[in-house]
Amino acid sequence: MAALAHKTVILVTHQVEFLSEVDKILVMEAGQITQSGSYEELLTFGTVFEQLVNAHKNAVTILEFSNDEQVEPQKLDQNLLEKSHGSLSTKENSEGEISMMLASEAIISCVLKFIKNLLNLDSELDDEDITIKNVLLPNIETLIRSLHCLFQSCNATKSILVKYPGETELRIFKLLSKYIKDPLQARKFIDNLLPFLGKKAQNSDACLEALQVIRDIIPVSRSETSPKILNVVSPLLISAGLDMRLTICDLLGVLAETNPSVLSVTNLISELNMTSVMETGGLDYDTKVHAYEKISMEFFYPIPENQALVILSRCIYDMSSNELILRHNAYRL
């Protein structure tokens, strides 16, 4: 750095740990300079910058903790989890708020890994050991709200994480689902899982697991989530394999129990995917042909568009079937 001693250096970074060494800091949001000053000045103003620096420090502490293999469950401190929420949750004050939008991808990744490790530990402990539950349960609402904030974010820096969530995020949702008892929390929870059903994940194990978790949480969420679920499921039926189609049938069956208006569509989709009792992995062609006979223009008149798309998407799949009778019935529509 000696060569730069008498030069003006402009550093553009999300790595807040370097900022204590600079002379002046310009904080930018949405392409605009919102704050300026020295590192010490910005920390004493009680601004968003101060909260961002604190969030980074908390995440580093969390990462060090999660990598410490010697720590026993009984020594978990609730303050540590609250620090993770400092990075994950939205905290309002007179100057603004610190949220997922301001935390770097590295910080979010560290916090998510800590949460996954905490939930893994909880699942491994005996049911009578409530050490982790005493930490988790008071913070479930904050955690769900924070995850919802992340996965509903349109921030470009989080686009990869949100559009293509991975094993860590799915593991969190899978382990966390048993704690969801409130309908509003359940609806936010399902919103968080819908990105797993995106186009890039159609044939992946992650998509299949996400469908199963959504299926299990639907009874808690009640009928309000039906339109969102149907809109996401429809594209899957165009090209999904048999295992995924059968899982979707199970999901729609549970959905029909909370929302009877989708029962006719659920029954029809189940018939279109009926497997043979005589042949393992084979299809019941008689049932499928009979189901196609029920589909007419009159069938679509009373049902909403999202339900109609579920049926039509399944028909598109059969248009490329090797079986002539299925192609014929699908093209007839």
Taken in order 281, 287, 293, 296, the sign of the CA dihedral is negative
Give helix 48-66 / helix 105-124 axis angle, nearest 10°.
40
For residue 187, being part of any structural domain is answered with: no
Residue 302 lies in a domain: yes
Q: DSSP secondary-structure letter at 179?
A: G
Question: What domain range includes position 264?
Answer: 203-333
Would residue 76 count as lying in a domain? no
Query: Which residues in 259-284 are b (16+ Cβ under 10 Å) and which e?
Result: beebebbbbbbbbbbbeeeeeeeebb
Structural domain includes residue 70: no
Q: In sequence order, what E strands does 47-111 have?
A: 91-93, 96-98
Listing DSSP states for 138-172 in one string gives: GGHHHHHHHHHHHHT---GGGHHHHHS--HHHHHH
Domain-located, residue 85: no
pLDDT digit of tens for each residue in the chain (333 aa)? 566 667 788 888 777 777 888 888 888 776 778 888 888 888 777 666 776 777 666 555 544 544 554 444 444 444 444 444 444 443 443 333 344 555 566 677 777 888 888 888 888 887 777 777 887 888 888 888 888 777 766 554 454 555 556 778 888 899 999 889 899 889 988 988 887 787 545 547 888 888 999 999 999 998 788 999 999 999 999 988 888 999 999 999 999 999 999 999 999 999 999 887 666 567 788 899 999 999 988 999 999 999 999 999 999 999 998 889 899 999 887
Query: For residues 228 and 194, is the Cβ–Cβ distance under 8 A?
Result: yes
Task: Please say whether the beta carbons of 223 and 258 come within 8 A.
Answer: yes
Angle of the 48-66 helix axis to the 78-88 helix axis, nearest 10? 130
Taking alpha carbons only, the member of 258, 261, 179 closest to residue 221 is 258
Coil, helix or strand for 26?
strand
Helix or strand run (H / E) with residue 32: strand 32-37
* Counted domains in the chain: 1
Burial of 199 per CB tally in 10 Å (0-12, 13-18, 19+): exposed
Residue 94's pLDDT is: 34
Find out whether 161 and 108 touch, Cβ atoms under 8 Å: yes
Residue holding tokens 């090797």?
322
Are 196 and 170 in contact by the 8 Å Cβ rule? The answer is yes
Question: Is there a domain that residue 134 lies in?
Answer: no
d(CA 165, CA 159): 10
Residue 108 forms part of a structural domain? no
């770097």: which residue's tokens?
104
